[in-house]
Every structure is written in C-alpha cells, then in structure tokens.
Amino acid sequence: MAREIHLIVVGKYKDLHLESIEKNYLKRINSPSLIIHEVKCSSEKKDFEGQAIIRKVKEISQNSNIHLIALTEWGNLKNSVDFSAWISNLIDRPAKIIFMIAGAEGFSDEVLKQSQDRISLSQLTFPHKLARIILVEQLYRAQTLRSGHPYHN
C-alpha cells in the first residue's frame, strides 16, 4: 500500500498566491501524503527536462516498483469520482505512485515511454503551474471521497 504519492514538477512557483493555494491543500492531504519534487533544469528544452525528470524518478524509486503517471493533454480524461476510484486502486498496490508535470514544451519521448499511465485534467490546456494546483486539489478531493467527507458535494 502506498504511504505517499510523489509529484515531480519542472520549475518552482514564482507566484506566492499560487504557492499559498497549494500549501492549503497540502496541509489537508494525509492519506497518503503528497510529496512534491521540483526539478530544476538548465535548459527549457524537453529532452533536458526529460533527463532531469528521469533522474528524479530513479532517486524516488530506489529500485522499487513504481507507477509513473504523466499529466498530458492527450491523456485519459476522468471525472473526479472516477479519478478517486482509480487513485484508490493504485494506492492499494505495492508500488510507488509518481505523477509528473512537464514544462511548457511537454514531455520528452523517453519520459512518455517510461510512464504507465497518461491522464488529462481537462480538454482545456492549462499552464503547468496551474495544472499543478488542479492536480493537488483533485488528490485532496479523491481523499475526501474515499473517506466520505462532504467536500465533494
């Protein structure tokens, strides 16, 4: 059973308002906890970012089983209830769950080849900093759905 979910993102927040919104949700997420890893890259080219993401995945996995999920506009769409059921199923497996959000150019082919799942947050395209907040909120929403908390209503 997963005790933590990992989120790898390219870059850091530069907006304190966005950071504050995310921190508010992170304080509430506890089953399992969410750990965010910000990777820095010397180039905004997707191949360089991909190498940085893959290095971080290896660091997190420590040779254990992982389930790698890329957030991409071409991924599978889920509503919040389906997302909650899907993530609950993953949490019950003996693998580390790692979500990834790429930079503005998207994922390198190598990262996409290594991912087991690709999901989309919407048919709309969001800046990756905003997609990060949306995913964090959806992970919190999934937790409340699993626990029967009325937040989803």
Domain ranges of the chain: 4-148
Is the C-alpha dihedral spanning 149, 66, 120, 15 positive or negative? positive
Q: 3-class DSSP state for residue 137?
A: helix
With 80 as the cut, is the pLDDT of residue 134 above it? yes
Q: Which residue has tokens 């900093």?
A: 129
Is the C-alpha dihedral spanning 69, 70, 72, 75 positive or negative? negative
Q: Give the strands of the sheet with 4-10, arranged side by side.
A: 33-39, 4-10, 96-101, 66-77, 117-120
* Amino acid making up residue 88: S
Confidence band, pLDDT 50/70/90 cuts, at residue 78: very high
The average confidence (pLDDT) of the chain is 93
Q: What percent of the chain has pLDDT above 70?
A: 99
Question: CA–CA separation, 129 vs 115, rounded Å?
Answer: 21
pTM of the model: 0.94
Nearest CA-CA partner of 100 in 56, 40, 144, 47: 56
Helix (H) or strand (E) segment spanning residue 98: strand 96-101
Question: What is the assigned CATH class of domain 4-148?
Answer: alpha beta
Q: Where do runs of H (alpha helix) occur along 4-119?
A: 16-28, 46-61, 80-91, 109-114
**Where is average pLDDT lowest: 18-27, 109-118, 119-128?**
119-128
Confidence band, pLDDT 50/70/90 cuts, at residue 31: confident
Cβ proximity of 136 and 81 under 8 Å: no
Six-digit token string for 105: 């150019």
> Which tops the pLDDT comparison, 106 or 41?
106
Confidence band, pLDDT 50/70/90 cuts, at residue 41: confident
Confidence band, pLDDT 50/70/90 cuts, at residue 2: confident
With 90 as the cut, is the pLDDT of residue 97 above it? yes
Q: Which residue has tokens 């190498």?
A: 51
